[in-house]
Amino acid sequence: MNSKTTTDTQGKGTVAPSRRAVLVLAGAAATFAAVTGYRLLTRPVYDGGHLSVEAAHRQAAEGTILLVDIRQPEEWRDTGIPEHARPIDMRRDDFPEALTAALGADRSRPIALICARGVRSARLSTLLTEAGFNNILDVPAGMLGSAAGPGWLAKDLPVTPYSETAE
């Protein structure tokens, strides 16, 4: 006899697995789907270009990109700002205007966005591309590291202390 089926009490054949087993399997499948879906929803993927933290540092130092730290002032105070980066809080109502001013009105200049772990930078990279900024690069490892790799701090790249006048 198959271990997954049982004989009914009247000996007329087999019955399906117990209701409990079906519920356990359904619960496991639902949990897997929820966790997978949550990860897909919370970890946006930017379809444009990406830079490692080392490449972002090197290119910002060379002046070939504008590196923008989009985190909040509290985060800048805690960790500092990446060397050669421009801090512009992404929550600002005038964020596109501030970014345009930092570019010198040249929207074709490459812009690399960095945040803590790459989530906000990926989302904002997509939004800015849709808004007409043509050369957006995401730094998905961020300051603290992510699935994309060790972050700016773990790579021991230089930071500049934040001052209120830096923004």
Q: Mind listing the pLDDT tens digit for each residue in 3-13?
A: 555 555 555 65
Cα–Cα distance measured from residue 10 to residue 17, given in angstroms and rounded to the nearest whole number:
17
pLDDT digits (tens, 9 = 90+) for 6-34: 555 555 655 567 877 777 776 766 666 66
Nearest to 157 by CA among 46, 59, 43: 59
Looking at residue 11, its pLDDT comes to: 58
pTM, rounded to two decimals: 0.72
pLDDT digits (tens, 9 = 90+) for 48-103: 789 999 999 999 999 999 999 999 999 999 999 999 999 999 999 999 999 999 99
165 residue type, one letter: T
Does the pLDDT value for residue 40 go beyond 50? no
Cα–Cα distance measured from residue 110 to residue 43, given in angstroms and rounded to the nearest whole number:
23
pLDDT digits (tens, 9 = 90+) for 112-133: 999 999 999 999 999 999 988 8
Does the pLDDT value for residue 104 go beyond 70? yes
CATH 3.40.250.10 residue ranges of the chain are 49-166
Q: Under CATH, what is the fold of the domain 49-166?
A: Oxidized Rhodanese; domain 1 (3.40.250)
pLDDT band at 46 (very low <50, low <70, confident <90, very high): confident
Beta strand extents in the chain (DSSP E only): 6-7, 14-15, 49-50, 66-69, 81-82, 85-87, 111-114, 136-138, 159-160
